[in-house]
Amino acid sequence: MALSRGSEIHLLLNDSDADSSERDHIANLELEDFEDDGPKPTWRTRWRLSYHSILQVLGVSLAGVACLVIVAGLFFPSYSNPPRRYKELRNLAREPSGRVNVRNEKIFIAASLYDAGGELVSGDWGKSLLGLIDILGPDNVFLSLYEDNADDGSKIALRAFEKRLSCQSSVVVEDLDVSGLRHVTTLDGQRRLSRIGFLAEVRNRALRPLDDEHSPASAIRFERLLYLNDVIFDPVDAANLLFSTNADEKTGRPRYLAACATDFINSFKFYDTFATRDFEGFDMGVPFYPWFTGAGDGASRKDVLAQTDAVRVKSCWGGMVAFEAQWFQTRTEDALRSGMTNQPVRFRADNETFWESSECCLVHADIAASADAELAAGESGIFMNPYIRVAYSKAVLDRLHFTRRFERLYTPVQAFINWIASRPSFNARQLEQPGDEVVDRVWSWDTATRTGKRVARPVEAPERVHGRYESLTRIARPGSFCGTRHMSFINADNSKGGKRWGTVQAPADKAS
């Protein structure tokens, strides 16, 4: 039998008859000098082994991820086990008499609509609203709907919907004259309707029955006001937002100035980031769970991770908001004696070029400022309730019951992306307090711009914009934390498929 070279060397090393000098020489040979002379692996063999190793690693990794997802969804589901009072209220809604408003609180429900073709009121939104009125008790509800510039289909649908209402109501359809509303000068020299100014106006028009002495609503002292966007919602969830958010465990009464739902544009993505600010006034992180950043003390993020139904924030909207109604009504004599102002809170816009805040953020700031004497130190009285979820389609709303279960797994990924994306963004006015004397950098157009003599120029030429930032000393108003440096406007003509509104970023402030 033939021996390999390696085997021959092994025999020589163990041969007692071999000369010692010969053995020493053999022992000092390099390994490559006595490797087997058998066939060596080809590059194809090595690649095949490496490929299979990668597949094995991937398989084990995917199995681990699958196990993690299953364990998280089954044993640690996110926002899937609300406090007992939420389930008790849902059980009340199932009873034939079906009334969840056990204290017969008076509820004012408001909505300003843009309902092309009437699909909103004749679809799932209208069905949910009718269901909500029923479980609250029609005698306890006043509904105010307002729509500007409705098309024929919307008008027909609204009138048909109005006939189905069992509560007192005000349904107004009109062509709003916008000439008296705030307009802004854009970078191309055009005057356009301010988007936030317009939205504030139409939202306020839905509140007009509260001030109209000819409306029965003006004579009612409402306990709660529910403002709805064009979101699809569960009527029982809306009732829980009203009556269960941050409820006192002894009395069962909710404690809030405002409580917001959470709205989702798809099964994972939170939508209304523009109006939401965390407990310290920071804007949001990337818009999936836990939504907020850890900036500052990270109180809002910590509340979300603790699965509370009352996440402390400075402002929110989330497509559906429950307010204490007293802030929107003329104050009673008792309230006036306690130091409250007589002016009801309304939606508003910032009257400043290239500084814009959501009207839905500013209204929270104004309420908090009005209620300052009632709030304990360090409280805002404004909460976001992640147990209450709404969406912009029925399909997404139905999926949220499942997809929320796995949210906790997103936490480290969201934190990493927040860091990569430098969230939250910087707001030079974030810490300003109402009544403080502050120095702000404010954009000012040149004289020709203010007198309307500018020549139109392309938006793409910001270096030719005639204006500058100036330092302005003034008294801070509520809501400085809401603002961002941009301008939004309504497009007068979007018949060619363009968006109904546009946004322009502010020129850079070289001095800041």
DSSP 30-43: -GGGG---SPPPPH
459 falls in which pLDDT band (50, 70, 90)? very low
Assess if residue 220 is contained within a domain.
Answer: yes
What pLDDT, on the 0 to 100 scale, is given for residue 255?
A: 96
Please report the sign of the dihedral spanned by the C-alpha atoms of residue 283, residue 286, residue 292, residue 297. Answer: negative
What pLDDT, on the 0 to 100 scale, is given for residue 458?
A: 45
What pLDDT, on the 0 to 100 scale, is given for residue 485?
A: 95
Assess if residue 152 is contained within a domain.
Answer: yes
What pLDDT, on the 0 to 100 scale, is given for residue 463?
A: 42
Is the Cβ–Cβ distance between 161 and 129 less than 8 Å?
Answer: no
Lowest mean pLDDT across 24-28, 294-298, 402-406, 438-442: 24-28
Assess if residue 476 is contained within a domain.
Answer: no
496 falls in which pLDDT band (50, 70, 90)? low
What pLDDT, on the 0 to 100 scale, is given for residue 273?
A: 97
Q: How far apart are CA 209 and CA 192, in angstroms?
A: 29
Structural domains counted in the chain: 1
* Higher pLDDT, residue 453 or 196: 196
Assess if residue 264 is contained within a domain.
Answer: yes
What pLDDT, on the 0 to 100 scale, is given for residue 262?
A: 99
SS3 189: coil
In terms of DSSP H, where are the helices of 195-277?
195-205, 235-243
For residue 184, what are the β-bridge partners?
192
Is the Cβ–Cβ distance between 135 and 98 less than 8 Å?
Answer: yes
- pLDDT above 60 for 335: no
Give 352-375 pLDDT, tens digit per residue: 999 999 999 999 999 999 998 888
Q: How far apart are CA 238 and CA 101, in angstroms?
A: 12
Compute the average pLDDT of residues 177-190: 89
Q: Which residue is listed with tokens 């400043």?
A: 352
Structure tokens at 261: 């739902």
Q: How far apart are CA 107 and CA 314, in angstroms?
A: 24
Structure tokens at 216: 């029965």
Give 41-95 pLDDT, tens digit per residue: 665 666 566 767 777 777 776 776 777 667 655 667 899 999 999 999 999 998 8
**Which of left, alpha, beta for 423 (phi over 0: left; psi -120 to 50: alpha)?**
beta
SS3 166: coil
Range(s) of the domain holding residue 152: 84-420
SS3 262: strand
Highest mean pLDDT among 10-24, 85-99, 185-199, 377-391: 377-391
Assess if residue 50 is contained within a domain.
Answer: no
Could you tell me the CATH number of the domain that includes residue 408? Answer: 3.90.550
With a CB cutoff of 8 Å and minimum separation 6, the contacts of 7 are none
Q: How far apart are CA 9 and CA 336, in angstroms?
A: 107
Assess if residue 363 is contained within a domain.
Answer: yes
Beta strands in 316-460 (DSSP E): 320-324, 382-391, 437-445
Compute the average pLDDT of residues 402-410: 94
449 falls in which pLDDT band (50, 70, 90)? low
Assess if residue 31 is contained within a domain.
Answer: no
Compute the average pLDDT of residues 128-151: 97
Q: How far apart are CA 151 and CA 173, in angstroms?
A: 10
Over its C-alpha atoms, the chain yields an Rg (Å, rounded) of: 33
Structure tokens at 391: 């969406």
Q: In 3D, which of 200, 221, 196, 204 has the Cα closest to residue 146?
A: 204
Assess if residue 412 is contained within a domain.
Answer: yes
pTM of the model: 0.84
Q: How far apart are CA 365 and CA 354, in angstroms?
A: 20
Give 89-124 pLDDT, tens digit per residue: 999 998 877 789 999 999 999 999 999 999 999 999
